[in-house]
Amino acid sequence: MDVRLLYFDGCPNWTVAEERLRSALVSVGRGDEPVHRVLVETTEEAERLGFIGSPTIVIDGRDPFASGEERPALACRVFTTPDGRAGSPTVEQLVEVLS
């Protein structure tokens, strides 16, 4: 499994997303799976990587939280969670996409 966390330094939400992602990996029995951090610094990189905001979580080349209508951007990303809008998916949402 290839797990990538794309982020940019201007948004603090990626650190929460990384913690939740690591917890979710442990929950699905893949706690030893590396999470590859990818720092996105330019609009060109955002476009090339399909980076639609920080954090973007990519699992085996796919962003499971993207609707397909988002545009690449160096911006903080907002996710829809059971508790409302948040800067990161919940651990439960991550477990679901990792299972």
pLDDT digits (tens, 9 = 90+) for 57-97: 999 999 999 988 899 999 999 999 999 999 999 999 999 99
Judged by average pLDDT, the poorest of 23-27, 46-50, 87-91 is 46-50
What is the identity of the amino acid at 56? T
The three-state secondary structure class of 8 is: coil
Residue 67: which CATH number?
A: 3.40.30
d(C-alpha 85, C-alpha 49), whole Å: 24
d(C-alpha 8, C-alpha 94), whole Å: 20
Domain count, the chain: 1
Q: What is the mean pLDDT of the chain?
A: 95
Q: pTM for this one? A: 0.93
Residue range(s) defining the domain that contains residue 42: 3-98
